[in-house]
Structure formats: structure tokens, C-alpha cells
């Protein structure tokens, strides 16, 4: 009898040993665009083990733009996501949704004019009479008339072509357009087309000519905030570690991304990260702390959204789209 009990006890111990001490909690994150160096934080956080250290098993989905990413998070299809503040605020102003921004990633907006050096375009007002291309579904398009007028340019004086995103670089470099509207982080991709030439690019960031407010941020669904706030804290903590790692170690971050997404190019990803760094690490993040939202800049973000999309200024309280409790 004792031998039988001992044998059963040993079998039970072996069975228990076959299970992990603590199974990781599975969560889903949705990117609003294809994986790239400038939004590689989640991939790097997975690869470097930052999420695993918090007991999280993170899987990544790919959305079809900011509005899609916001919808997926609000519906609970994904627990977390990355999207622009404009996408989140626009959704809230249209129909209130259960999603909040929890981590500020880009405290400066990446929108810019990119042109060839020597084009004679050194300011927004120099675009009068020029032909400019922009991606058909770019979030910058709504902002463009406002930024143009703010800088003394009649937007109607510019011939604006809406094209496929992949056509922007080739059209610019072939001389079919004078400039393009794109993110500052796209410059490395465009520059690869200049290999073997003496042509260089000039980037005119809109944050230098009046555009203020947060852009790309981490969102969390209302459901996970309500039901699993500790999970949200863990995710935010790991994400902040990933943000700091990416800007501090662009080469390793680019390699991590490539290992998870083989289609990405390590050299280009490194340059994308370097171009992205001023959007994340700057005088704003130095003042507020990495990942935190400054109330005044949240208000500025809403002013741009309301002006560019025709919402009444009091349509929403811009602070209502933020949950500050998860970033210490």
C-alpha cells in the first residue's frame, strides 16, 4: 500500500514538473501599419524579453491604418495597439469608443515635406505653384491645408496629387513632382533610391513650423483597462523599456526586428530609428518623462484635429481620451 502511494506521488510530481511554473498571459497588439524600424518597439520588446519578464505573451497583428487599429482596440479584437492621437480623437469625436491612450510614444509629429536638395524649396511658402504628391490615405492630408495657411501658403496654389504610398519616392526622385508629403521617418527609404547619385534630400518637419501635439501612441481597450488593470501596467512598463532600448541601441533593435520580420532591411531600419529618435527623445519627453502625456500638448493635438476635420472645439474633452494611471 505504501509502495503504491509512493509511486502515485512520484507520478504526480512528474506531471506537475511538466507544466510551467507560471503560464504567460496572452495579449494581442495591433500595429497601424507594416512593421518598420520607426515603430519596432513591440517587436523589440518581444525579442529582448521585456514582455516575457512581465509575464506577458504578446502577439502582433497588422492593421490597415490608424482608424482600423483604433477600431480593433475599441472592439476588443486586440488588447493594445499603436495609432496616432488624431485617429483616436477623431473616433471619439464621431462616436464615443471604449479605448484610451496609455503611453505617449511620439511627442512630436512625424509629418513633413520632403524634397530634393537644390529644389529651391526651403519653407512651406515656397511650394506655391509646385506639384506635391501625398499618399491617398495619409493622415497628413487633413492637416495639410491648416499647416499651409499657418505658414502663409494658399493650399489651392499647390497642385496636390494623391497617389499610392509606394509611388512617393520614385515620383520625387524621377522629377515628376517637386515635393512629397510624408513622415520624416520615410527619408531613409527614399534615400536608398539615390544610391550612386549626388542627389540628396531636404526634410521640412511640420513640428518646426507650427504643428504641436502628440502623434503615435499606445492604446488600450476599455475592457482590459477595466478588467485587468495590472496587465495594462505590466504592458506599459515593458513597452517603456522597449522604447528606451530601441533609441539607445538602433542596430540591435533593427536586427531584432529583422529576425521577427525577415522582409525588413536592417540598414534601412537603423536609419529609420535614427530619424524617429527626435520624435521620442526631445525637450518634451525630458520635461514630462518618457511615455507621459502633457495636458497642454494633448489639448494642442485636439486643436489640430478639430480644425482640420471640422469638429466643434468643445466636441470632446481631449483629456478624456487619455489614461495616465499606467505610466509612473
Is residue 225 within 8 A of residue 237, CB to CB? The reply is no
In a domain, 11, yes or no: no
Q: Which of 4-18, 101-115, 124-138 has the lowest mean pLDDT?
A: 4-18
**Number of domain units in the chain:** 2
Given this model, what pLDDT does residue 86 score? Answer: 94
**pLDDT surpassing 60 at residue 17:** no
Judgement on whether residues 316 and 258 belong to the same structural domain of the protein: yes
Q: End of a domain among 208, 242, 274?
A: 208
Judgement on whether residues 80 and 121 belong to the same structural domain of the protein: no
**pLDDT surpassing 80 at residue 257:** yes
Collapsing DSSP to helix, strand or coil, 179 comes out as strand
Helix (H) or strand (E) segment spanning residue 142 = helix 140-150
Judgement on whether residues 322 and 218 belong to the same structural domain of the protein: yes
What is the DSSP code (8-state) at residue 249? -
In a domain, 14, yes or no: no
**pLDDT surpassing 50 at residue 249:** yes
Judgement on whether residues 231 and 195 belong to the same structural domain of the protein: no
CA distance 167 to 169: 6
Given this model, what pLDDT does residue 79 score? Answer: 98
**pLDDT surpassing 90 at residue 8:** no
Band of residue 328 on the pLDDT scale cut at 50, 70, 90: confident
CA distance 181 to 287: 30
CA distance 133 to 79: 35
* Cell numbers found for residue 169: 519616392
Judgement on whether residues 287 and 220 belong to the same structural domain of the protein: yes
Helix (H) or strand (E) segment spanning residue 205 = strand 201-205
Helix (H) or strand (E) segment spanning residue 172 = helix 168-173
* Cell numbers found for residue 98: 471604449
Percent of the chain with pLDDT over 90: 89
In a domain, 166, yes or no: yes
In a domain, 182, yes or no: yes
pTM for this entry: 0.90
Band of residue 6 on the pLDDT scale cut at 50, 70, 90: very low
**pLDDT surpassing 70 at residue 19:** no
CA distance 44 to 38: 11
Judgement on whether residues 222 and 317 belong to the same structural domain of the protein: yes
Judgement on whether residues 178 and 282 belong to the same structural domain of the protein: no
In a domain, 202, yes or no: yes
127-177 pLDDT, tens per residue?
Answer: 999 999 999 988 899 999 999 999 999 999 999 999 999 999 999 999 999
140 closest CA partner among 184, 96, 173, 106 = 184
* Domain harbouring 62, CATH code: 3.40.190.10
Given this model, what pLDDT does residue 5 score? Answer: 42
Residue keyed to cell 524634397 = 115
Judgement on whether residues 91 and 218 belong to the same structural domain of the protein: yes
**pLDDT surpassing 90 at residue 11:** no
Judgement on whether residues 176 and 319 belong to the same structural domain of the protein: no
* Cell numbers found for residue 88: 483616436
Average pLDDT of the segment spanning 37-64? 98
Judgement on whether residues 171 and 235 belong to the same structural domain of the protein: no
Judgement on whether residues 55 and 159 belong to the same structural domain of the protein: no
Given this model, what pLDDT does residue 22 score? Answer: 63
CA distance 313 to 315: 6
CA distance 167 to 315: 36
Judgement on whether residues 232 and 198 belong to the same structural domain of the protein: no
Q: End of a domain among 208, 228, 258?
A: 208
Amino acid at each position: 500500500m505504501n509502495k503504491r502511494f509512493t509511486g502515485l506521488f512520484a507520478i504526480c510530481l512528474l506531471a506537475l514538473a511538466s507544466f510551467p511554473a507560471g503560464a504567460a498571459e496572452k495579449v494581442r497588439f495591433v500595429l497601424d501599419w507594416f512593421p518598420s524600424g520607426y515603430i519596432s518597439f513591440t517587436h523589440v520588446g518581444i525579442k529582448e524579453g521585456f514582455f516575457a519578464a512581465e509575464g506577458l505573451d504578446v502577439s502582433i497583428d497588422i492593421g490597415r491604418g490608424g482608424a482600423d487599429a483604433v477600431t480593433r482596440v475599441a472592439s476588443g479584437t486586440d488588447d493594445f495597439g499603436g495609432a496616432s492621437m488624431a485617429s483616436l480623437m477623431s473616433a471619439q469625436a464621431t462616436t464615443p469608443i471604449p479605448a484610451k491612450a496609455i503611453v505617449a510614444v511620439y511627442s512630436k509629429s512625424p509629418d513633413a515635406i520632403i524634397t530634393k536638395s537644390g529644389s529651391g524649396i526651403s519653407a512651406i511658402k515656397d511650394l506655391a505653384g509646385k506639384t506635391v504628391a501625398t499618399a491617398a490615405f495619409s493622415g497628413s492630408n487633413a492637416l495639410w491645408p491648416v499647416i499651409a495657411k499657418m505658414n502663409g501658403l494658399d493650399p489651392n496654389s499647390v497642385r496636390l496629387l494623391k497617389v499610392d504610398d509606394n509611388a512617393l519616392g520614385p515620383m520625387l526622385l524621377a522629377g515628376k513632382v517637386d515635393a512629397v508629403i510624408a513622415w520624416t521617418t520615410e527619408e531613409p527609404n527614399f534615400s536608398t533610391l539615390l544610391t550612386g547619385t549626388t542627389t540628396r534630400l531636404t526634410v521640412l518637419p511640420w513640428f518646426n513650423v507650427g504643428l504641436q501635439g502628440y502623434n503615435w501612441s499606445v492604446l488600450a481597450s476599455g475592457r482590459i483597462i477595466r478588467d485587468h488593470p495590472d496587465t495594462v501596467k505590466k504592458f506599459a512598463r515593458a513597452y517603456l523599456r522597449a522604447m528606451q532600448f530601441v533609441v539607445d541601441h538602433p542596430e540591435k533593435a533593427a536586427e531584432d526586428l529583422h529576425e521577427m520580420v525577415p522582409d525588413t532591411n536592417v540598414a534601412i531600419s537603423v536609419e529609420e530609428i535614427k530619424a524617429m529618435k527626435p520624435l521620442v527623445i526631445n525637450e518634451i519627453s525630458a520635461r514630462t518623462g518618457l511615455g507621459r502625456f502633457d495636458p497642454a500638448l494633448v489639448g494642442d493635438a485636439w486643436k489640430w484635429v478639430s480644425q482640420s476635420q471640422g469638429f466643434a472645439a468643445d466636441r470632446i474633452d481631449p483629456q478624456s481620451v487619455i489614461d495616465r494611471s499606467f505610466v509612473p
